[in-house]
Amino acid sequence: MGIVVQKYGGSSLSDADAIKRVARRIVDAKKAGNDVVVAVSAMGDSTDELLDLAAQVSPLPPARELDMLLTAGERISMALVAMAISDLGFTAQSFTGSQAGVITDDVHGKAKILDVTPGRIRSAIDEGHVVIVAGFQGVSQQTKEITTLGRGGTDTTAVALAAALDADVCEIYTDVDGVFTADPRIVPAARKLATVTYEEMLELAASGAKVLHLRSVEYARRHNIPIHVRSSFSTLEGTIVTGSINDPVSEGSMEAPIIAGVAHDRSEAKITVVGVPDKVGEAAAIFTALADAQINIDMIVQNVSAAATNLTDISFTLPTSDGQSAMATLDGLKDRIGFESLLYDESIGKISLIGAGMRSHPGISAKFFTALAEAGVNIGMISTSEIRISVIVDQDDVDRAVQATHTAFDLDADEVEAVVYGGSGR
């Protein structure tokens, strides 16, 4: 008997009817003769609602308590899905992340899965149960505290379960039919990708295409688990994430497309450290302090110092959710480093163009920047990797920039196939 690991996102579990619909899908997989293990997210936008509630109680809630609060969301859906399955005449048991053996490090709010010890899951399977696991959570090996994996983390729970249980594939059910060449909410002419390599999907996820959690793709690549991203609202085949950009292209097969997609991200902020003395060790001091505070930095730009003052500005982007703690950390260093002031800007957006083919095709940046210029979009910062070019633009320009880039690279579909079935896009 095969083992099937599925994940249902919040947008597929928005209310009681949706939960019953998902239960029927799960039961179908069981009826087909499989052992079934399912990771579930919190219902609808309930994680955001819990965060709003916490913010009303405290502007900077303790990270431990925030994790206690947020993990409740997934506990609600796991129990309701298990109930709906038993109502269909099948037996199901739900487990918290900790009960399921999801072991993490001790970083609240963005814990990493270190190991999965699926003893209880295996016993429940052996007893004939469908297993439902609360996504997005685990338990720290060291502190024994309950942790969460970061927004969108249920994808990673599912992939980690698939790896631990030796499943052939991990199915991620969501509110669109797969991974598209751009977010279908912004580009209705986006095209569904039949397959996408791990590397390209990593870049898409890291650049804001929240259809998959970044860590889930890292985990899948490391354990060589294909991910099948598909809709819980249709029966269409979705997108398979598998393979490498370095795999040899077999003779006679089609050349891979140059561009896999365009991603955007509105969740970053920009901090500028103004008037940094131009001497050895300043950048090291700034970024070491931020690293010690567990803050992930994205793009960094340092200006040439002005000859008259010997002072320079350093700007960088980071998740908005880390903005306040980064500002507090840097403020504490003001006297030691001797910079003049700090600027904080949340009204930015990032547009990224991703594709393995850009390694061998010249002129991609020129075409990208020309498309933005023709759309009247000003570029604030630029960064590149081997298979990605990213720019920072004004947040109000994001939609226009994505659409213009998608069109410029001939990615628009002739017939609209990008359906958004549910979700608020929050």
Based on CB atoms, which residue is closest to ligand ADP, 102 or 326?
102
CA distances (Å), origin 121, targets 126, 130, 237: 9, 9, 28
- State the first-to-last Cα distance of the chain, in angstroms, to the nearest integer: 39
In the complex, least distance from residue 51 CB atom to ligand ASP, rounded to whole angstroms: 9
Site string for ligand ASP, 22-41 (x = CB under 6 A): -------------------x
Report the 10 Å Cβ neighbour count for 346.
Answer: 12
Q: Which amino acid is at 247?
A: D
- Examine residue 180 and tell whether it contacts ligand ADP (CB under 6 A): yes
Name the binder of 176 from ligand ASP, Mg ion, ligand ADP, none, CB < 5-8 A by kind.
Answer: ligand ADP
CB 51 within 8 A of CB 70: yes
Q: Which of the residues 18 through 57 are near ligand ADP (CB under 6 A)?
A: 41
Decide: 219 and 163 in contact? Cβ < 8 Å: yes
User: Judged by CB under 6 A, which stretch of 117-125, 176-184, 278-286, 388-396 contacts ligand ADP?
Assistant: 176-184
11 binds ligand ADP (CB under 6 A): yes
Residue of 180, 140, 133, 139 whose CA lies nearest to 154: 133
User: Per-residue x/- mask for ligand ASP, residues 63 to 102, rule CB under 6 A?
Assistant: ----------x-----------------------------
Closer residue to Mg ion (CB): 9 or 44: 9
State the minimum distance, in angstroms, from the CB of residue 328 to Mg ion.
29
| Angstrom distances, CA of residue 268 to CA of 51, 155, 265, 398 | 18, 21, 7, 13
Per partner kind, with CB cut-offs from 5 to 8 A, the member of Mg ion, ligand ADP, ligand ASP, none near residue 423 is ligand ADP
Could you give the 3-state DSSP secondary structure of residue 36? strand
- Residue 210 touches ligand ADP, criterion: CB under 6 A: yes
* Helix and strand element counts for the chain (H, E): 11, 20
Helices (H), 99-188: 119-126, 154-164
Residue 10 as a binder of ligand ASP (CB under 6 A): the answer is yes
Interaction residues for ligand ASP, span 98-157 (CB under 6 A): 135-136, 151-154
Residue 209 interacting entry, from ligand ASP, ligand ADP, Mg ion, none, C-beta within 5 to 8 Å by type:
ligand ADP
d(CA 198, CA 173): 18
Tokens of 120: 């209880």
What values do phi and psi take at 152, rounded to 5?
Answer: 85, 5
Per rule CB under 6 A, is residue 67 in the interface with ligand ADP?
no
Q: How far is the CB of 210 from Mg ion (least distance, A)?
A: 6
Residues 6+ apart with CB under 8 A from 228: 169, 170, 171, 172, 238, 239, 240, 241
For residues 257 to 286, the per-residue mask of contacts with ligand ADP, x marking binding by CB under 6 A and - elsewhere, is ----x-------------------------
199: nearest Cα among 222, 172, 176: 222
Taking CB under 6 A as the criterion, the residue among 109, 277, 357, 423 binding ligand ADP is 423
Which of 19, 22, 38, 42 binds ligand ASP (CB under 6 A)? It is 42
Q: Does 9 bind ligand ASP (CB under 6 A)?
A: yes
Among 152, 178, 238, 319, binds Mg ion (CB under 5 A): 152
Q: Quote the DSSP letter at residue 237.
A: -
- The residues pairing with 398 across neighbouring beta strands, listed in sequence order, are none
Site residues (vs ligand ADP, CB under 6 A): 9-12, 41, 152, 174-176, 179-180, 182-185, 209-211, 261, 420, 423, 425
Q: Which positions lie near Mg ion, rule CB under 5 A?
A: 9, 152
Q: Which residues bind ligand ASP (CB under 6 A)?
A: 9-10, 41-42, 47, 73, 135-136, 151-154
